[in-house]
Structure 1
Amino acid sequence: MVLLHGKWDAPPFAIAALADPLAEAGYLVRQPMLPWALRRRYDAPFDAALDQIAGEVLALREAGCRRIVLCGHSLGAGAALATAARRGHVDGLVLLAPGHFPERLAADGHTTASLANAAHAVANGRGQARVPLVDVHQGQPRRLRIRPDHYLGYFAPDGPAAWPGNCQRLSTALPMLWLVEDAPGTAAPGIDYAFRQVPPHPASQWRRVTATHHDTPASSTAIVIDWLTQLDW
């Protein structure tokens, strides 16, 4: 299992609540720190993050693991899906409180100006200098100093982090567990938004859990382990 933390998270990451229960259940677990951690603020491009995750998968293969599942929280869920779609060699996905939808942020106008500013900076050879650009987490906009060339990879509505494109890019049906938080004020994507765009697998499930966005991993431990043990591998 590779656990992928969420946007703006800091150690101990929310998804780390799964680490000990998974280890006790017999799973090897890796927990990389990724570029969307609060202390890193997108200091590496999205494609480099996918390469990092693919490297974690390879490390588990070399340790003797025959099946590798990516378990992502928030933006980490999107990265798990993107890794499966764009790097392959993944056997299953657990997507907890999926977050960071570039196509929605752009459609709602949250990132329109920042995308234009980032594209202009890149076109004029200034893509590597950090500038204030808008990020949004759980409806909370915040200006972060981000490299424009990195920003486009994470936020372009047709870029490598966009959910519809990655769902449609999957060429093989994978077992997937989608757990969406069900708490007052949440606006998580419905089942038609992405789940039904991936190749169907008989073990795939989409469920709501009574939890906040941040607490979804801790609240989902038993569900995740039960689902994993029932996979017919």
Structure 2
Amino acid sequence: MKRFARLFAVAALGVCLHAQADTPKAGVVVMHGKGGSPSKYVSDLAASLERDGFLVANLDMPWSGRREYDVDVTTAENEVEAALTALRQKGAGKVFVAGHSQGGVFALYFGGRHHVDGVVAIAPGGNVGNATFREAVGPSVEQARQLVAQGKGQEKARFSDYEGGRGTYAVASTPAAYLTWFEPEGAMNQTLAMRGIKADTPVLYIAPSNDYPALVRVKHEMFGLLAKHPLTKMAEPTSSHLNAPSASVQEIERWIATVSKQ
């Protein structure tokens, strides 16, 4: 019996290793939240993914505290696409975009316009289409429109940004770039971004139970906007908005591994 058990264990291990070998290596572009950086709230997620065998690009995005919307949305898309290309060149057979907070909204927007194998939206926030956001940054949006109309679209000026946990604050950007991020019906309109996801693109929508109240109220409504896909799911970790990336590492890894096998 012992000899049979050993043979069975060896055979099972061989099957397991064969299954792992057959699974394409996954590449993940990780994007931080508004005013953040790769070394803050997404750093644990990026490090864990890399340690566990995923190919990772943890990017400094245009909405970081250092960059302050220094380029427009199209340029940001090109930056992510370049990172995905680099991951493919390193051997990634499947590629994913994963974003936290504003990075989550951008991941949804990007996933609706570019080929990726899946989107991970972690506590997505910064929806420029909602009433609170429109009121907070509306005057700056109008100011930017006027400056563009006057031919001053590339001259840096001070504009308003808004975050639920921080309120309204100033950023320095060009009017032309600022508008691409803050137009109410533009790229960072979360409703439009979610509706733009195609039916063949699965989404892991992470909605922490202790998120900001405004995001908790709309999470089911937002999730319902996604196209139906058998692997699209909502995960609700017991975590705050800021700690959601760290709290979701295992869920994200399991989901990406599952999608990668399809």
TM-score, normalization: structure 1? 0.92
Where does residue 131 of structure 1 map in the other structure?
A: 157
**Structure 1 CA distance, aligned partners of 2:183 and 2:244?**
27
Per the alignment, residue 214 of structure 1 pairs with 242
1:226 equivalenced with 2:235 (yes/no) = no
Matches within 5 A, 1:56-205: 56-86=83-113, 88-104=114-130, 108-139=134-165, 140-183=167-210, 185-188=212-215, 190-205=218-233
| Letter matched to residue 112 of structure 1 | G
Letter in 1 for 2:75: A
- Hey, what does 1:24 align to over in structure 2? 51
Q: Secondary structure at the match of 1:127?
A: coil
* Larger Cα-atom Rg: 2
Residue 81 of structure 2, aligned match among 30, 54, 67: 54
Higher relative helix content:
2
Contact preservation (8 Å) 1:106, 1:112:
no
Per-residue deviation, 1:185: 4.7
| Root mean square deviation, CA, Å | 1.8
Q: CA deviation at 1:93?
A: 0.8
Runs of 5+ consecutive residues of structure 2 not aligned to the other structure: 1-27
Deviation at 1:125, TM superposition (A): 0.8
Task: Give the distance between the partners of 1:103 and 1:79, measured in 2 at CA.
Answer: 14
Question: CA–CA distance in 1 between the matches of 2:196 and 2:235?
Answer: 23
Please identify, of 98-107 and 35-44, the stretch whose mean Cα deviation from structure 2 is larger: 98-107
Superposed CA offset, 1:146-174 (max 9, x none): 21111111111111222222222233431
Deviations 1:202-224 (A, max 9, x none): 11111322222211111111221
CA distance in 1, matches of 2:136, 2:179: 14
Residue number in structure 1 paired with 2:41: 14
The answer to which of 104-113 and 143-152 deviates more is 104-113
Counterpart contact for 1:106–1:157, Cα < 8 Å: no
SS of equivalent to 1:111: helix
User: What TM-score do you get using the length of structure 2 for normalisation?
Assistant: 0.82
The answer to whether the 8 A contact 1:180-1:209 is kept is yes
> Which segments of structure 1 move beyond 6 Å, counting only runs of 4 or more?
none
In the alignment of these two chains, the number of paired residues is: 232
Q: Which residue of 1 aligns with 2:61?
A: 34
Shift of 1:184: 6.8
Whole-Å Cα distance in 2 between the matches of residues 223 and 122 of structure 1?
A: 44
Distance apart, 1:228 and its partner CA: 2.3
Match of 1:199, SS state, is coil
Between 1:203-212 and 1:37-46, the stretch displaced more is 203-212
> Which residue identity lines up with residue 151 of structure 2 in the other structure?
G
SS of residue in 1 equivalent to 2:56: coil
